[in-house]
Structure 1
Amino acid sequence: MKKMTISTISKGFFHILNKPSSTLLTTWYAEQVVQGKIIASKNVILACKRHLNDLKRAGTDEFPYVFDEELGHRPIRFIEKFCRPSKGNYKQLILQPWQHFILGNLFGWVHKDEKLRRFREGLIFVGRKNGKTTIISGVSLYGVSKDGENGADIPLLANSMKQARLLFDEAKAMVKSSPKLRKHIRTLRDAIHYDKTFSKIEPQASDSEKLDGLNTHIGVFDEIHEYKDYKLINVIKNSRGSRSQPLIIYITTAGYQLDGPLVDYYEQGVDTLNGVITDDRTFYYLAELDDPKEFDQPEMWIKANPNLGVSIKLEDMIEDWEKAKRIPAERNDFITKRFNIFVKSDEQSFLDYEVIKRNKKEINFDELRGRPCIAGFDLSQTEDFTSACLEFWLDTGEIAVLSHSWIPEKKVLSDNEKIPYREWEKHGYLTICKEGDYVDYRLVYNWFVDQSKRFNIEIVTFDPANAYRLVEDLKAYGFNTLSVRQGYITLSPALKDAKELFLDGKVIFNNNKLFRWYINNVKLVEDRNGNWLPTKQSRYRKIDGFAAFLNAHTEVMKKLATPKGNGDIKFVSVSDLFK
């Protein structure tokens, strides 16, 4: 590995030396990152672009939020003036530009009329040793005393009380080390009180006995990569109902719990920053290495460690990596905690998001009235998405996909995943079923019957799981049906053919955002013979609509391969050529 020095990576963590004289660095940081003057991960670059784009549309009818620099700077000014870390020889805490960007966003974006905070939640995803505890402590002390709220509860939350108390003890130590804070804030063993507004900070965990009585104003979750379920998160979300501008902050590194809330929230963040879904009320800062090639490129490590050179010494980190990478268990832990990358499986992405966007052509499906098509459906096994589609093959070599999905309202009401069900319903991509815990298969049946009056449905393809009653009813109506085996031999050719069509920009789905989301969620599992199967990476990543399309495409790809004309072959003799 090439030895790195401070000068060779000054483009990264020493950007602070060239900061402007203005008090708030939020927008400056975003500009520097987008211009490539500060090294950052792809997702941080997208977060910065989001901030700059939002500034352009601020205060409009479609986007009623404005950026108030004074409000954004208040918590920063408070922390730098009154707070100091309890560990280390620090006389004053100076927040770095990336921390200005985070706090400026969380507290500076407000509604143009009420001046209430835009963001209700924020996910701060950074590597270990980047000063997370310091930010948590400072924000909690600001929230309890200077955020203008009476009776505000500030719970410091973790998966265990031991971890929660580490956060709490740091906040308490900050109070004790500040003469001005000590005058106004009262510290006890289990609570920090600001008596002027009857507000308090308390450590809380999943096993706490006092969770039900909370009235959360600002809740801070530490290391949610350890969480296996939403139990504690749900309690806190349900405790903020009486608050006018509650804020929940999740601040964490990557972890090994790939079926928990963190992966769900992380993937929602990636989708939001990429424009796959719309979520104007959640802030995302996702700092991570973008490529395994960067493991041995210390100049890139600032992507996951924005505090490199401040709370992290580059030389120490290089030495630690050189030792850790020789031992598999230590290597994986270093990659997860210091490079901030989730433990990866052997799955590969089906398509890049940029490839999906190539397929932006639209068509009026009424113009296809009477045309032949292949149908497909995928029924849910639980109270989740059920999907159906029609796939048309066109003379241009393109395919057109008409997709629709159903979901029970119970799932929508109880959902933690920020999936924009209502938006998709508004655009006609989704039906939210008002009755029952499951999707009634007769709704799918009725959809096929209605579509058969517009189009010539040659075959209805399906995954045989849970499909018996619907298939029998479709047969009784007169549909031809075909079971599609869900294995490598059947699905791999269809997957590879569909990928080629997407790469060539030949898939028309009229920018159906739900269908685009399904496609974006597809991962591939490959067997030793190079055959593919589709899968999803987590609970959040639904692929039901793609599964319905893939069932149909097992037959449509045969149509695309059929030669034009009547199939007759005429042999011509040499003598015929001279007649």
Structure 2
Amino acid sequence: MLPILYEFPDDIASDPFKWQDPENWGMVMPNLGRSMRLHSLVLDWEGERVKGERDIRIWASQHLNIEIGIGIKTDAWPGAEFWDRRIDATLTMKTLMERSEVIVVGIDGGGLDDLFGFAALGREKETRRWLSVSRAWCHEGVLDRRQSIASTLLDFKADGDLTIVDDELKDVSEIIEIIAEINEAGLLACVAIDNEGPYGEFVEELAKIGITPEGGQIEGVGQGYKLMNAIKTTERKLANGTFVHSASRMIDWCIGNIKIEPTATAIRATKQNAGDAKIDPAMALFDAVTVMITNPEADGRSVYEERGLRVA
């Protein structure tokens, strides 16, 4: 048996007016007019469409092979529902630096089986909206160990959002270069790093460019209430439109992989599927948010610290 999946070309799949037009459905339904009748499908579609976005996405996925998208799982991160509405296609690292008055860098990653996640979170001049650009690095061995996502990762590489490195592990040096550029522009507030990650080498390299914990430009982020606050703050800002992010299939995928689990005293973000579902770049964003919440300035100090208040 040779299963064949028919999909719309990108220009139709990305345009709701086109893929919702029954005239185009025959492109992905080879049995239309045989085992399937267009009239019945249209009636079924009209019935689902009035129920809301969730039912539209499910029907489109089942019948037209349109990607369901993110944010419809019952245990998904609530902010995912608004994620694809807050894309700013003009955002790049260059335009982020041009538009921001201060930038917090978030870092999250594990071993050679994970992505090394990077997020640059800026506060826009005048509007004070939050602007986010995400990148990731991974070791080439991930393609062999996680073959189910290998083609997906290669797509992200082609997009320019993921760098696949060899045994020389140039991921750290490339990230340091980006951080140094932000710092030299006078925009860096600090680098927020997951407390539980293996970042000894990374911290050492940051010290070489004058960025140290003692200087107030490196902050460890615990995985407790501070991160919960960041997760909830981000979803609220997505909902009210004061957070926008660059166009990136990589970060979209990571956001869709987030699973929210309640704990005894808070919530935590985990992966929908252990191993293959990567969320490191999304967690890097939340790390950055833990600092941006404190209203930092570009010298590594927040206005609250300047007023003599201690930021927890």
User: So what's the TM-score if we normalise by structure 2?
Assistant: 0.69
Q: How far 1:557 sits from its partner (Å)? A: 0.8
Q: Which structure 2 residues correspond to residues 427-446 of structure 1 after superposition, within 5 A? A: 427-433=159-165, 435-436=166-167, 440-446=171-177
Which residue of the partner structure matches residue 461 of structure 1? 192
SS at match of 1:495: helix
SS at match of 2:230: helix
- Does the alignment pair 1:50 with 2:61? no
Whole-Å separation in 1 of the counterparts to 2:204 and 2:106: 15
- Does the alignment pair 1:403 with 2:138? no
- Does the alignment pair 1:354 with 2:81? yes
**Could you say if the C-alpha distance between residues 418 and 44 of structure 1 is closer, same or farther in structure 2, counting changes exceeding 3 Å?**
farther
Whole-Å separation in 1 of the counterparts to 2:203 and 2:239: 33
Which residue of the partner structure matches residue 274 of structure 1? 68
2:91–2:247 CA contact under 8 A, matched in 1: no
Which residue of the partner structure matches residue 449 of structure 1? 180
Which residue of the partner structure matches residue 36 of structure 1? 47
Q: How many residues align?
A: 256
Which residue of the partner structure matches residue 532 of structure 1? 267
- Select the residue among 77, 93, 114 that pairs with 1:384: 114
1:557 corresponds to which letter in structure 2?
A: I
Q: Which structure 2 residues correspond to residues 290-369 of structure 1 after superposition, within 5 A? A: 348-351=75-78, 353-365=80-92, 366-367=94-95, 368-369=97-98
2:44 corresponds to which letter in structure 1?
A: V
Whole-Å separation in 2 of the counterparts to 1:451 and 1:26: 58
Whole-Å separation in 2 of the counterparts to 1:437 and 1:47: 41
Which residue of the partner structure matches residue 3 of structure 2? none
**Could you say if the C-alpha distance between residues 23 and 527 of structure 1 is closer, same or farther in structure 2, counting changes exceeding 3 Å?**
closer
**Which whole-Å deviations, capped at 9, do the CAs of 1:181-215 have from their partners, x for residues lacking one?**
xxxxxxxxxxxxxxxxxxxxxxxxxxxxxxxxxxx
Q: Which structure 2 residues correspond to residues 62-81 of structure 1 after superposition, within 5 A? A: none
Which residue of the partner structure matches residue 482 of structure 1? 218
Q: How far 1:563 sits from its partner (Å)? A: 8.1
Whose relative contact order is higher, 1 or 2, with alpha carbons under 8 Å and at least 6 apart?
2
**Could you say if the C-alpha distance between residues 563 and 485 of structure 1 is closer, same or farther in structure 2, counting changes exceeding 3 Å?**
closer
- Select the residue among 540, 543, 557 that pairs with 2:293: 557
Q: How far 1:553 sits from its partner (Å)? A: 0.9
Whole-Å separation in 1 of the counterparts to 2:149 and 2:167: 21
1:359–1:508 CA contact under 8 A, matched in 2: yes
1:402–1:509 CA contact under 8 A, matched in 2: yes
**Which whole-Å deviations, capped at 9, do the CAs of 1:517-561 have from their partners, x for residues lacking one?**
2222222222344x2221112133211001111111111011189
Stretch moving more, 366-375 or 400-409: 366-375
- Does the alignment pair 1:508 with 2:244? yes
Whole-Å separation in 2 of the counterparts to 1:36 and 1:486: 47
**Could you say if the C-alpha distance between residues 472 and 352 of structure 1 is closer, same or farther in structure 2, counting changes exceeding 3 Å?**
closer
Whole-Å separation in 2 of the counterparts to 1:560 and 1:372: 8
Whole-Å separation in 2 of the counterparts to 1:399 and 1:405: 20
2:79–2:236 CA contact under 8 A, matched in 1: no
1:404–1:545 CA contact under 8 A, matched in 2: yes
Whole-Å separation in 2 of the counterparts to 1:451 and 1:398: 18
Which residue of the partner structure matches residue 36 of structure 2? 25
Q: How far 1:502 sits from its partner (Å)? A: 1.3
Q: How far 1:371 sits from its partner (Å)? A: 3.5
- Structure 1 unaligned segments of length 5 or more: list them: 1-20, 52-271, 277-289, 292-346, 568-579
2:122–2:131 CA contact under 8 A, matched in 1: yes
**Could you say if the C-alpha distance between residues 528 and 457 of structure 1 is closer, same or farther in structure 2, counting changes exceeding 3 Å?**
same
Which residue of the partner structure matches residue 153 of structure 2? 421
Whole-Å separation in 1 of the counterparts to 2:144 and 2:40: 38
**Could you say if the C-alpha distance between residues 473 and 413 of structure 1 is closer, same or farther in structure 2, counting changes exceeding 3 Å?**
same
**Could you say if the C-alpha distance between residues 558 and 384 of structure 1 is closer, same or farther in structure 2, counting changes exceeding 3 Å?**
same
Whole-Å separation in 1 of the counterparts to 2:33 and 2:103: 62
User: So what's the TM-score if we normalise by structure 1?
Assistant: 0.39
1:428 corresponds to which letter in structure 2?
A: G
Whole-Å separation in 1 of the counterparts to 2:86 and 2:241: 4
1:393–1:559 CA contact under 8 A, matched in 2: no
Between the two proteins, what is the percent identity of the paired residues?
Answer: 15
Whole-Å separation in 1 of the counterparts to 2:80 and 2:286: 19
Whole-Å separation in 1 of the counterparts to 2:36 and 2:281: 43
Whole-Å separation in 2 of the counterparts to 1:460 and 1:446: 13
SS at match of 2:295: helix
Q: Which structure 2 residues correspond to residues 49-448 of structure 1 after superposition, within 5 A? A: 50=64, 273-275=67-69, 348-351=75-78, 353-365=80-92, 366-367=94-95, 368-369=97-98, 371-394=101-124, 395-413=126-144, 415-417=147-149, 420-433=152-165, 435-436=166-167, 440-448=171-179
Q: How far 1:474 sits from its partner (Å)? A: 0.1
Whole-Å separation in 2 of the counterparts to 1:374 and 1:352: 20
- Structure 2 unaligned segments of length 5 or more: list them: 1-31, 308-312
SS at match of 2:281: helix
1:467 corresponds to which letter in structure 2?
A: Y
Which residue of the partner structure matches residue 493 of structure 1? 229
Whole-Å separation in 1 of the counterparts to 2:142 and 2:284: 20
Q: How far 1:392 sits from its partner (Å)? A: 0.7
SS at match of 1:462: strand
**Could you say if the C-alpha distance between residues 432 and 503 of structure 1 is closer, same or farther in structure 2, counting changes exceeding 3 Å?**
same
